[in-house]
Amino acid sequence: MRSGRVSKRAATFEESDASTLDGPARSFATNPTARPKKPRVSFIHPLPPYAVVGARVVALGSLGGVQKPFNCQILRILPGQRVEVRFLSDSDGNTSRLCLPIIPTAYVGADELLGGEPPAQAEVAAHVEEAA
């Protein structure tokens, strides 16, 4: 320690000092606004009736950062109004890997399913037996 220099004590926050935070600067603080509770996604976008395992549907997928429609097959139904799909081709029918998303399977929400038809019951039974 140098001569003539006195070191300061570290400042501490005491419980009794809590009232000092209520001074003039407190008037500039904003209170969070009350936001309405958001409804569950399942109420906004329920899973469509054609969304069954094995069905071929049109769903949105990402290719080069752009959301585009793709022909897909539903692999499984997940909780929370989501489905796992495998991308088969783009909307023009191209099946090249360059025309499909990089990741061949994805989880899509009910709001990203654009359309489709349920498969015949024999196809569903065959697909379920394959998965088991």
What does the pLDDT read at residue 45? 73
Tell me the domain boundaries of the chain: 47-131
| CATH top-level class of 47-131 | mainly beta
pLDDT at site 18:
53
Q: What pLDDT, on the 0 to 100 scale, is given for residue 74?
A: 93
pLDDT for 100 equals 92
In the chain the first and final C-alpha atoms are separated, in Å, by: 77
Count of Cβ atoms closer than 10 Å to residue 81 Cβ: 20
pLDDT at position 85? 95
pLDDT of residue 36: 79
Q: Which residues of the chain have pLDDT under 70?
A: 1-3, 11-30, 32, 38-43, 117-132
Q: What is the pLDDT of residue 58?
A: 92
User: Which of these, 56, 120, 126, lies nearest to 85 by C-alpha position?
Assistant: 56
